[in-house]
């Protein structure tokens, strides 16, 4: 093999720049990126030839140079965060962005965000307004609280609450409620960052009323309950409910705080799920401050929502820390539009994707699964496409033991391995993230909205995904 001849076959930069395809790329993406990409492509091509021992492979690489450059330039210019199709059946999948927002709600948010808005402008009075005002009344109406606000996420809400009510003081919390929320974040550590010191009472499995009372001293700033979102302590257990804790707080003039984690606003037991204490329950039982996530069971944007007694919320709004934790206009607009859906429970269930997925009947999921199966079979794939019962999970650290009966489209490829298929699905333009079980691809249809069915079929077809060589 004459390597010198191969090197001479590599086009020079000047020649490449005259290529019509390359000129189009420059037109669209700018000269700088294209020239840089050309230089890198040439360098890697030379390195390849140096190592290469089959001439036809080297020639193939030289021939595909322009299209390789094109692919690279397009890839550099494509934003990295993109849509994926969630076939895992985990509804609030934290790695996949938790609660999806409906296109209709997002269209509203897009209108707000693409122009100016009254985010902090009071249109009645023609002067400065408050960014929480837009949904504060609504949150109060829905939850029964006196006042409300929102910050960046629930971890921030916990930190702000404790910093405002417990800085330099002691906060009493049960040992059974010291939660790690994923990504190695521990609620107790977040709490320590607030400047409050935690006083842990009880044991992992049992905490009694007297444990709280005995721990109260001059230094106590508040009593705290944390929802054990992502785990359950079962067996020989005891805990003090919010109803029991509230009178204790009153007796010693201490605020009672509840971190509900998921913060569901609808009693999901009506839809066959395990009863989860709602935010309304907590307020009704007299909690002074309740906080919860905006993108867990609420089904909205990432946020930490704080509701409760006005005197405490006012203090938090004035805390300097609030400025560092504040929500932006995207979040404010998203919360505003989503919370409006909660004015009617039926509307919320219908229009908020996460709630719709959680409550969709097995019958309806099965109907949709059949339709996806039919569409997939029509493309005559080299694979077996079979319906199979499966179980969805809520995810996001909510209702950890809950399993919802669901229907999956399973795929068993004939010419490639299941692992290969899974990898290929992950590399599609709109990646499909399935589960694999018993050497089959499982697509739980509960978390796949109808509008993605066509995309799935088209992608699988165009990528020749079931062929030995894709
Ligand atoms: C999820 C969770 C948090 C953190 O909420 P983010 O919105 O993810 O910051 C805090 N406390 C509890 C109990 C939780 O379940």
Nearest atom of ligand 1 to the alpha carbon of 396: 1
259 Cβ closer than 6 Å to some ligand 1 atom: yes
179 Cβ closer than 6 Å to some ligand 1 atom: yes
State both tokens at 177.
């409620």
Q: What is the mean pLDDT of residues 354-375?
A: 98
The closest residue, in CA terms, to atom 7 on ligand 1 is: 154
Distances in Å between the Cα of 467 and the Cα atoms of 11, 299, 460, 464 are 34, 39, 10, 6
CA 431/CA 470 separation, integer angstroms? 15
Provide the strand spans (E) within 64-187: 85-86, 90-92, 121-122, 127-128, 147-151, 170-174
- Give residue 396's pLDDT: 82
Q: How far is the CA of 244 from the centre of ligand 1 (A)?
A: 23
Smallest Cα–Cα separation from 242: which of 255, 229, 230, 232?
Answer: 255
Residue 184: pLDDT over 80:
no
Q: How far is the CA of 172 from the centre of ligand 1 (A)?
A: 19
CA 319/CA 160 separation, integer angstroms? 8
State both tokens at 369.
């699964």
- Give residue 240's pLDDT: 85
The closest residue, in CA terms, to atom 8 on ligand 1 is: 154
Per-residue confidence band for 203, with pLDDT thresholds at 50, 70 and 90? confident
Task: Check residues 186 and 370 and name the one with the higher pLDDT.
Answer: 370
- Give residue 13's pLDDT: 93
- Give residue 47's pLDDT: 94
Nearest atom of ligand 1 to the alpha carbon of 398: 15
Percentage of residues of the chain with pLDDT beyond 90 = 84
Q: How far is the CA of 230 from the centre of ligand 1 (A)?
A: 10
Per-residue confidence band for 382, with pLDDT thresholds at 50, 70 and 90? very high
- Give residue 470's pLDDT: 64
229 Cβ closer than 6 Å to some ligand 1 atom: yes
Residue 78: pLDDT over 70:
yes
Q: How many helices and strands, by DSSP H and E, does the chain display?
A: 21, 16
Smallest Cα–Cα separation from 289: which of 129, 132, 131, 159?
Answer: 159
12 DSSP 8-state letter: P
The closest residue, in CA terms, to atom 5 on ligand 1 is: 154
Which residues 6+ apart lie within 8 Å of 456 measured at CB? 85, 372, 375, 376, 432, 448
pLDDT digits (tens, 9 = 90+) for 292-310: 999 999 999 999 999 999 9
Q: What is the mean pLDDT of residues 153-167?
A: 95
Integer-rounded Cα Rg, in Å, for the chain is: 28
Q: What is the mean pLDDT of residues 183-205?
A: 85
Residue 229: pLDDT over 80:
no
Note the residue count of the chain.
470
The closest residue, in CA terms, to atom 11 on ligand 1 is: 261
Per-residue confidence band for 400, with pLDDT thresholds at 50, 70 and 90? confident
Q: What is the mean pLDDT of residues 199-220?
A: 92
| 117-131, 180-194, 261-275, 313-327, range with the lowest pLDDT | 180-194
- Name beta bridge partners: 444: 408
- Give residue 247's pLDDT: 96
| 44-58, 213-227, 370-384, 433-447, range with the lowest pLDDT | 44-58
State both tokens at 82.
């993109």
CA 425/CA 85 separation, integer angstroms? 10
What is the Cα 286 distance to its own chain's centre?
31
Q: How far is the CA of 239 from the centre of ligand 1 (A)?
A: 20
Quick check: 402 and 358 in contact, CB under 8 A? no
Task: Check residues 372 and 53 and name the one with the higher pLDDT.
Answer: 372
Task: Compute the CA torsion angle 250, 255, 256, 260 (nearest 10 deg).
Answer: 150
153 Cβ closer than 6 Å to some ligand 1 atom: yes
| 232-241, 333-342, 360-369, 454-463, range with the lowest pLDDT | 232-241
Q: What is the mean pLDDT of residues 42-66?
A: 92
Q: How far is the CA of 3 from the centre of ligand 1 (A)?
A: 60
Q: How far is the CA of 463 from the centre of ligand 1 (A)?
A: 39
Percentage of residues of the chain with pLDDT beyond 70 = 99
The closest residue, in CA terms, to atom 15 on ligand 1 is: 261
Task: Compute the CA torsion angle 53, 59, 62, 66 (nearest 10 deg).
Answer: -140
93 Cβ closer than 6 Å to some ligand 1 atom: no
304 Cβ closer than 6 Å to some ligand 1 atom: yes
Q: What is the mean pLDDT of residues 233-250?
A: 89
Nearest atom of ligand 1 to the alpha carbon of 227: 13
351 Cβ closer than 6 Å to some ligand 1 atom: no
Strands 147-151 and 304-308: antiparallel
């Amino acid at each position: 093999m004459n390597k010198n001849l191969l090197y001479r076959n590599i086009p020079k930069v000047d020649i490449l720049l005259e290529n019509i395809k390359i000129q189009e790329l420059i037109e669209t993406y700018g000269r700088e990126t294209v020239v840089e990409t050309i230089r890198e492509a040439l360098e890697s091509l030379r390195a390849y030839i140096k190592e290469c021992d089959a001439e036809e492979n080297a020639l193939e690489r030289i021939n595909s140079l322009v299209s390789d450059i094109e692919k690279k330039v397009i890839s550099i210019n494509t934003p990295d965060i993109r849509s994926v199709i969630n076939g895992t059946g985990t509804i609030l999948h934290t790695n996949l962005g938790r609660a999806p927002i409906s296109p209709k709600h997002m269209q509203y948010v897009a209108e707000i965000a693409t122009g100016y808005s009254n985010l902090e402008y009071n249109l009645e009075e023609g002067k400065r307004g408050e960014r929480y005002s837009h949904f504060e009344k609504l949150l109060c109406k829905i939850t029964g609280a006196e006042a409300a606000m929102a910050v960046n996420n629930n971890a921030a809400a916990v930190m702000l609450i404790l910093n405002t009510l417990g800085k330099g003081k002691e906060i009493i919390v049960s040992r059974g409620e010291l939660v790690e929320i994923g990504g190695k974040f521990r609620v107790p550590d977040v709490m320590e960052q607030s400047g409050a010191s935690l006083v842990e009472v009880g044991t992992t499995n049992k905490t009694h009323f007297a444990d709280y009372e005995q721990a109260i001293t001059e230094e106590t700033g508040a009593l705290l309950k944390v929802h054990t979102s992502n785990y359950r302590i079962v067996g020989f257990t005891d805990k003090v409910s919010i109803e029991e804790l509230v009178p204790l707080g009153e007796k010693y003039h201490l605020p009672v705080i509840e971190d509900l984690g998921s913060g569901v606003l609808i009693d999901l037991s009506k839809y066959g799920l395990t009863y989860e204490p709602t935010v309304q329950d907590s307020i009704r039982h007299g909690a002074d401050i309740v906080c919860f996530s905006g993108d867990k069971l609420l089904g909205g944007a990432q946020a930490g929502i704080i509701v409760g007694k006005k005197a405490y919320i006012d203090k938090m709004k004035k805390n300097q820390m609030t400025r560092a934790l504040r929500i932006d206009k995207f979040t404010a607009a998203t919360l505003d539009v989503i919370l409006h859906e909660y004015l009617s429970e039926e509307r919320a269930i219908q229009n908020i994707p996460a709630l719709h997925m959680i409550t969709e009947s097995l019958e309806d999921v099965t109907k949709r699964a059949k339709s996806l199966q039919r569409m997939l079979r029509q493309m005559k794939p080299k694979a077996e496409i079979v319906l199979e019962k499966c179980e969805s999970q809520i995810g996001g650290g909510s209702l950890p033991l809950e399993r919802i009966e669901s229907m999956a489209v399973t795929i068993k490829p004939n010419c490639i391995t299941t692992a290969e298929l899974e990898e290929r699905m992950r590399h599609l333009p709109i990646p499909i993230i399935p589960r694999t079980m018993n050497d089959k691809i499982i697509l739980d249809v509960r978390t796949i909205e109808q509008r993605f069915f066509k995309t799935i079929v088209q992608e699988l077809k165009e990528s020749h995904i079931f062929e030995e060589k894709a």
